[in-house]
Chains A and B, each alone.
Chain A
């Protein structure tokens, strides 16, 4: 076919475009070998290709930290902003441009520490976006400081005799926030589950919060050994409305049928009891979404001037 150069026809062209995974791949990541960030990036690129995202209408917003380099390694639009402040930026983008697909990538320090206030409120705003919290239980980029999700007793450079306090449980906390609509947990070392969870998050209408357990080979390798080596330490939450991955039952024999519509069961399952549970804890698409209540019809400059003139009439002398 003849390719029209007129940009007005670009939209028609878009439908014809087919994207390969390589169309989403940016420069080679500079993460450490064995870092869980690689797995999450791979799963995300697979999702982008599977769902045929338009690269120009997809935006990845991140904070600061190892995992927040994420957007640099994609060929979509990206916003690598400030430590802890990815969510407000994403909120602003979505408020103005609900047409864009927005993903937020944060670390545990970003989300549960310096930006914790935004985490609470973004959950409550329930805007249609995917929030991936890559939780390696440590501050990596600043070289080994305790994070809110570092398990009690685990040493770091700032708390060398072990973290003083019990770790914050991000899933339990998110489930406690009014108007939460999607809360899931997955692990980057189980790629099919990781992929299925991010995919479910993307298809959710609302704010989809996914905590991704993620290895840091440099500073927190011992914390993830049990999960890696002993599948029995992991319990999968399965349900048609949640995540079901064929074949995983052969390895992960502990499976619990959990209806993500049941918030009380979700909160019970999220409580700390030594078990690592993966799956969709809660999902409710009936919750109000902020951008829907706030989205307004665009009006022309001329119409604005007419209406502003009426407004000035009220102040006329």
Chain B
């Protein structure tokens, strides 16, 4: 399929001999991305391709390519917007390595991706062909400049007359190329055109019939053009499952999970990349008696959620790092007054405004320890999009049972990644019960802590005989302001004890791979798929590597020390910053470590190493595997 770098204008080559004009590549997986200027619709094209692919029974993982601005200047390398779709025969658990096929609407967005090392060395590029001879001299010059850089690569670049073709159907090709491209890709990957039409109908359901028809016409045009002109097709066998499946992104899963948990209030303030969860809810929540409250700020969003929980129904607030920082004082209050609360933090790059649209896992320690004062609470991290759904049910239940704050750490990778998963078997028992307004039994106090577990029953306004005042001041069992010295010691003990009780109910995490060996890789959150894929590759090479993925970060799941003891070396792999141990000035004592590594070292006293990157993108299995190979060599060197 790929040859030495060359720019060739694809031409219709009718096959006289009747032999197939194209070659079919049978592959277990392939990664394609579609990138355009903002507003040209590459994202929609990728979304539809992803959905159709999932429906055909292939594994799929879709990642959005999003510039930080709504409409950055056209033809700018950093302004590319689109979608990256990894298609597999088997279920796909992560975004994979480099892109193998790219559709670029102009050479500048191609250059943007090229400079990010997003493309495989031998990638095939389908590039709009209007730029080389564009009437605008500056565009021609920019094309020339890009051309000289691209000539040094091994890409196979095929110029495609996208605009010329689209003009036969629409007046403004900016509004049509994406569906033309979808058609091309549908031919290349042999996608079911009826499914494509269904998805187009769904994507444009709020638009007119005429728009639907035009988009279908463009789809068919692209399909036909590819059939006439391209010399390769890619066949990725599907393994249709009989299990009912659903497909969505992590934010949609969080939103629907909140509904499944019976929560009826989502308090939020707009922040990337969390907000789309509220878009999903805003659309459907009212059908479930729910309200999305867009508060005046992040602090108020936390306050409204806490007020709603106090009034009897556990609510949640959803945000990202900067918002979590603002909510800090309220989280401390919720811990102090033992008010159930679910907080979803869809992590992005930080600190400060950081990388608003890009993935990072750097809020871990802030989530656990970020509240001034001692504020024990629960921190969980879904590892897959499916878990984004179920974690909400679990988080609500824990928050309520343990009268505590549960912070759920998602991230931009999960939030915007799209993946099919087994359809949840919904259960009415997941839904929060209406508040119990029956009279409080005589003599019961609002913090009647069980001396052993620290657990107590929560009173709700409306319950006769339960009238008390919650207070963020240190308080006794009756919620009276504490003026004696022993009260704070005791109440702190009770609030901390609950978290240990929760830990006692958890199962030890399962090791992926052999349960003993040379190296154990520990991860948390969205990196699970990439880490396990890397482990699979290394084990296939004969290396003694296993991995462990943690769903609970506070409390940690039980038995971790015991698992560590079975490996010669333990290291975390995370998307946050750590110092290279060999860097100038860096030594054992001052080295900044990955956040989970820090936590595990403190809790287990094991010398846990780490490998982390903050490239603003999910980790690639190849990069993880390379890092692990190096560590294995170090271990073997130590032994020798």
A residues sitting closer than 8 Å to B (CB atoms) are 7, 10, 14, 26-27, 55-57, 59-61, 64, 71-72, 74-82, 85, 87-97, 99-100, 117-118, 120-121, 294, 296-302, 304-305, 307-309, 311-312, 314-317
Q: Please tell me if the beta carbons of A80 and B471 are within 8 angstroms of each other in the complex.
A: yes
Provide 26 A-B residue pairs closer than 8 Å at the C-beta atoms, listed in order of the A residue: A57-B461, A79-B469, A79-B470, A81-B303, A82-B330, A88-B295, A90-B307, A91-B293, A92-B309, A93-B307, A94-B307, A95-B291, A96-B312, A117-B300, A294-B291, A296-B290, A299-B289, A301-B433, A304-B289, A305-B260, A305-B431, A307-B288, A311-B259, A311-B284, A315-B247, A317-B420
Pick from A79, A80, A308: contact of B473, CB under 8 Å: A80
Q: Please tell me if the beta carbons of A7 and B438 are within 8 angstroms of each other in the complex.
A: yes
Q: Please tell me if the beta carbons of A92 and B286 are within 8 angstroms of each other in the complex.
A: no
Q: Please tell me if the beta carbons of B299 and A88 are within 8 angstroms of each other in the complex.
A: yes
Q: Which residue of A lies closest to B459 (CB)?
A: A77
Does B246 interact with chain A (Cβ within 8 Å)?
Answer: yes
Min Cβ gap B104→A in Å is 29
Pick from B54, B284, B461, B481: contact of A59, CB under 8 Å: B461
A60 CA to B310 CA, complexed, in Å: 12
When distances are taken between beta carbons in the complex, the residues of chain A under 8 Å from B465 are: 56
When distances are taken between beta carbons in the complex, the residues of chain B under 8 Å from A308 are: 256, 259-260, 288, 426
Q: Which residue of B lies closest to A27 (CB)?
A: B480
User: B261-269, B568-576, B612-620: which one contacts chain A?
Assistant: B261-269
When distances are taken between beta carbons in the complex, the residues of chain B under 8 Å from A60 are: 469
Q: A79-B307, A88-B295, A307-B287 are in contact. List 13 more A-B contacts (CB 8 A).
A: A72-B469, A80-B470, A80-B471, A81-B470, A89-B304, A93-B308, A100-B461, A117-B296, A300-B428, A311-B284, A315-B248, A316-B247, A317-B245
When distances are taken between beta carbons in the complex, the residues of chain A under 8 Å from B289 are: 296-299, 304
Which residues 456-477 of B have a CB within 8 angstroms of A? 461-473
Min Cβ gap A19→B in Å is 12
Min Cβ gap B204→A in Å is 15
When distances are taken between beta carbons in the complex, the residues of chain B under 8 Å from A304 are: 259-260, 262, 288-289, 428, 431
Give the most central of A81, A301, A307: most B CB within 10 Å.
A81
When distances are taken between beta carbons in the complex, the residues of chain B under 8 Å from A64 are: 472
When distances are taken between beta carbons in the complex, the residues of chain B under 8 Å from A99 are: 462
Q: Which 9 A-B pairs have the closest CB atoms?
A: A92-B307, A88-B303, A78-B469, A301-B431, A92-B304, A317-B245, A121-B296, A301-B428, A89-B307
Q: Please tell me if the beta carbons of A57 and B462 are within 8 angstroms of each other in the complex.
A: yes
Q: Please tell me if the beta carbons of B467 and A56 are within 8 angstroms of each other in the complex.
A: yes
Q: Please tell me if the beta carbons of A96 and B470 are within 8 angstroms of each other in the complex.
A: no
Pick from B244, B304, B427, B464: contact of A95, CB under 8 Å: B304
Pick from A94, A121, A302: contact of B428, CB under 8 Å: A302
Q: Please tell me if the beta carbons of A312 and B303 are within 8 angstroms of each other in the complex.
A: no
When distances are taken between beta carbons in the complex, the residues of chain B under 8 Å from A312 are: 246, 256, 423-424, 426
Q: 0/1 per residue, B269-297, Cβ < 8 Å to A? A: 00000000000000010111111010111
Q: Please tell me if the beta carbons of A85 and B438 are within 8 angstroms of each other in the complex.
A: no
Known contacts A89-B304, A96-B312, A317-B246; A77/B438 CB under 8 A: no
Known contacts A77-B468, A79-B470; A96/B427 CB under 8 A: no
Min Cβ gap A88→B in Å is 3
When distances are taken between beta carbons in the complex, the residues of chain A under 8 Å from B300 are: 85, 87-88, 91, 117-118, 121
When distances are taken between beta carbons in the complex, the residues of chain B under 8 Å from A97 are: 311-312, 461-462
Which residues 12-59 of B have a CB within 8 angstroms of A? 54-55, 57
When distances are taken between beta carbons in the complex, the residues of chain A under 8 Å from B262 are: 301, 304
Q: Which residue of B lies closest to A71 (CB)?
A: B469
When distances are taken between beta carbons in the complex, the residues of chain B under 8 Å from A91 are: 293, 295, 300, 303-304, 307
Known contacts A304-B262, A307-B287; A78/B426 CB under 8 A: no
Min Cβ gap A297→B in Å is 6
Min Cβ gap B614→A in Å is 32
Min Cβ gap B150→A in Å is 38
Which residues 398-450 of B have a CB within 8 angstroms of A? 420, 423-424, 426-429, 431, 433-434, 438-439
When distances are taken between beta carbons in the complex, the residues of chain A under 8 Å from B468 are: 77-78
A60 CA to B260 CA, complexed, in Å: 32
Q: Which residue of B lies closest to A75 (CB)?
A: B467
Q: Please tell me if the beta carbons of A92 and B305 are within 8 angstroms of each other in the complex.
A: yes
A302 CA to B470 CA, complexed, in Å: 33
A301 CA to B426 CA, complexed, in Å: 10
Does B315 interact with chain A (Cβ within 8 Å)?
Answer: yes
Min Cβ gap A90→B in Å is 6
When distances are taken between beta carbons in the complex, the residues of chain B under 8 Å from A92 are: 265, 267, 293, 303-311, 315
When distances are taken between beta carbons in the complex, the residues of chain B under 8 Å from A309 are: 426
Q: 0/1 per residue, B594-612, Cβ < 8 Å to A? A: 0000000000000000000
Does B122 interact with chain A (Cβ within 8 Å)?
Answer: no
When distances are taken between beta carbons in the complex, the residues of chain A under 8 Å from B202 are: 314
Does B515 interact with chain A (Cβ within 8 Å)?
Answer: no
When distances are taken between beta carbons in the complex, the residues of chain B under 8 Å from A100 are: 311, 461-462
Q: Please tell me if the beta carbons of A89 and B439 are within 8 angstroms of each other in the complex.
A: no
Min Cβ gap B386→A in Å is 12
Give the most central of B259, B293, B300: most A CB within 10 Å.
B300
A283 CA to B265 CA, complexed, in Å: 30
Give the most central of A74, A78, A120, A121: most B CB within 10 Å.
A78
Q: 0/1 per residue, B49-73, Cβ < 8 Å to A? A: 0000011010000000000000000
Min Cβ gap A121→B in Å is 4
Min Cβ gap B393→A in Å is 11
A82 CA to B306 CA, complexed, in Å: 12
A95 CA to B465 CA, complexed, in Å: 23
Pick from A55, A95, A305: contact of B265, CB under 8 Å: A95
When distances are taken between beta carbons in the complex, the residues of chain B under 8 Å from A93 are: 307-308, 310-311, 461
Q: Which residue of A lies closest to B284 (CB)?
A: A311
Pick from A61, A78, A316: contact of B423, CB under 8 Å: A316
Min Cβ gap B46→A in Å is 17
When distances are taken between beta carbons in the complex, the residues of chain B under 8 Å from A299 are: 288-289
Q: Which residue of B lies closest to A99 (CB)?
A: B462
Does B252 interact with chain A (Cβ within 8 Å)?
Answer: yes
When distances are taken between beta carbons in the complex, the residues of chain B under 8 Å from A85 are: 299-300, 303, 329-330
Pick from B252, B429, B439: contact of A10, CB under 8 Å: B439
Q: Please tell me if the beta carbons of B466 and A72 are within 8 angstroms of each other in the complex.
A: no
Min Cβ gap B358→A in Å is 25
A14 CA to B293 CA, complexed, in Å: 33
A60 CA to B467 CA, complexed, in Å: 11
Q: Please tell me if the beta carbons of B469 and A77 are within 8 angstroms of each other in the complex.
A: yes
When distances are taken between beta carbons in the complex, the residues of chain B under 8 Å from A14 are: 464
Q: Which residue of A lies closest to B245 (CB)?
A: A317
A140 CA to B286 CA, complexed, in Å: 44
A55 CA to B428 CA, complexed, in Å: 33
Min Cβ gap B48→A in Å is 14
Q: Please tell me if the beta carbons of A10 and B426 are within 8 angstroms of each other in the complex.
A: no
Q: Which residue of A lies closest to B469 (CB)?
A: A78
